[in-house]
Amino acid sequence: MPNPSRLRAAALTVTALTTLSVLLAGCGGGSQEDDDADLTDQKLSWKDCPAPSEAEGGGAAPSPLPDGDEWQCATMKAPLDWDDPRGDTIGLALIRARASGEADRRIGSLVFNFGGPGGSGVTTLPAFGQDYAKLRTRYDLVSFDPRGVGRSDPVECLDDDQLDTYFQQDATPDDRAERTELVDNTEKFNAACEKNSKEIIPHVRTTDAARDMDLMRQVLGDEKLHYFGISYGTELGGVYAHLFPRHVGRAVFDAVVDPTQTAEQSSLGQAKGFQLALDNFAEDCVSKTEDCPIGDTADDVEARIARLLKDLDRKPIPGVFPRELTQTAATGGIAQALYSKDFWEYLTEGLEQAYDGDGRVLMVLSDALNGRNENGQYSNITAANVAINCADDKPRYDTAYVERKLPEFRDASPLFGDYLAWSMLSCTDWPVAGAADHPDVSAPGAPPILVIGNTGDPATPYEGAGRMVDALGKDVGVELTYKGQGHGAYDSKNRCVQDAVHGYLLDGKVPAAGTVCS
């Protein structure tokens, strides 16, 4: 994935899993209330949900819930510019499932953000809604497409054909010509974003989305915002807690973004995190009772992967016709599979096939990372990811700076170091200035927030959870450690983690700080 400033928290889509199955079978204080009084009085018109738009990823309308209830969708108006709250508005797409339990036990709405930035909550929540069935007993489950995402005035940059070409480029240049091509393509991408989305891109900062959530809280009729943030959703939740500490209800942060890091530090941390996940994958493969089909030892597994990527840099192999599996696409596909231990089997199969000259599985994994479905349509997750990161992050890096940093990134990860170092160029010529070096999440006066770190998390390394706790401030962050693999903890189905989350969100029982689940 050449452009985004760091690997996002992108789960495999249902469409990508279907495609893989086919392949494998055959092979701050709330100051906004007075200013936006008119918008807080709006009434949402909840209706049956339509099929997802192309920007949301396409596909079919969400299926009914297991109890037969239908998902409901609505559009909420919000100010385009929160500095001019009575000016132009945009529409934010919302989805909900009404609480399934007794009415007198309903707590309110539980708002989800699944990360990215740039992920569509309107498509993600119903795709994984059954995982939150217990939480639905006392909450309306609610999610949304943040501004610039999906149906919420999406950022638009390149079209589908242009993106196919864009993702075929070499994201780890080895010489001056390749560096020039990478810089030129990044400039073209960013110029297309400015041309096609100049009205929205100045207004997609995380602080804007946090203010949208406080408006959402009021429109939904909740005194407090009860919240479940995953990956980037933890950064959004932390910014919300900073802006509106007195409005925070029961909140859980899972797969925690380190709020103290610059974009460079975050990319370097991800290089270490994905290298750790790759090490764990290799060790797992060779530890099984049957022979590991992709290497005799963990070092052998990783050495063969390195050789594959080097070979692909010289000569790509057939991928998903008519596209070829390049070094960049293979690296992205490997990264995508490391987001969850459930996908390690696909990575093993994909590597086996790639060694035999068949790049289809790794390319499907890469497509999932980039938001491409089997019909060749891209969601706007890449465009939104770049726009939000570049609006948030103040630092700008050039090729000379990246070249100086390459040794440090390669030390962190021989496989992912170059990939993540060069991705720092994505915001160099972005037309909107970045807001800050890192977000402010200090939230004095907020109630306890449960902060869950996973020791094997590749995309948001474990250390970020402790730093989030410290940054939130005294008596706010409560850290829980999960000794596991993959991005996030709750969806691992670990009983200890889920009991802690349910105990807090459903019954208000805060687990002891320092609790460890394994």
Catalytic positions: 231, 457, 487
Longest alpha-carbon distance in the chain: 67
* 85/281 Cα distance (integer angstroms): 49
Read off the amino acid at residue 504: Y
Give which of 389, 338, 339, 336 is closest to 367, Cα–Cα: 336
Cβ neighbours for 66, distance < 8 A, ≥ 6 positions apart = 130, 133
CA distances, 461 to each of 136, 258, 359, 428 (Å):
29, 8, 29, 25
* 247/210 Cα distance (integer angstroms): 12
> What does residue 53 show for φ and ψ, rounded to 5 degrees?
-70, 170
Question: What sign does the dihedral 427-428-430-436 (CA atoms) show?
Answer: positive
Tokens of 308: 């594959």
Cβ neighbours for 87, distance < 8 A, ≥ 6 positions apart = 79, 80, 81
Give which of 67, 73, 39, 37 is closest to 53, Cα–Cα: 73
Give which of 258, 259, 244 is closest to 210, Cα–Cα: 244
DSSP symbols for 135-180: HHTTEEEEEE--TTBTTBS----S-HHHHHHHTTS-SS--SHHHHH
* 14/129 Cα distance (integer angstroms): 13
Give which of 52, 79, 212 is closest to 146, Cα–Cα: 212
Read off the amino acid at residue 505: L
Q: Is omega for the bond preceding 117 within 30 degrees of 0, making it cis? A: yes
What residues does 78 pair with on adjacent strands? 90
CA distances, 256 to each of 19, 146, 253 (Å):
30, 19, 6
Tokens of 136: 């639905």
Question: What sign does the dihedral 146-268-234-210 (CA atoms) show?
Answer: negative
Q: How many CB atoms within 10 Å of residue 51?
A: 11
Which three-class secondary structure state does DSSP give residue 416?
A: coil
* 440/480 Cα distance (integer angstroms): 22
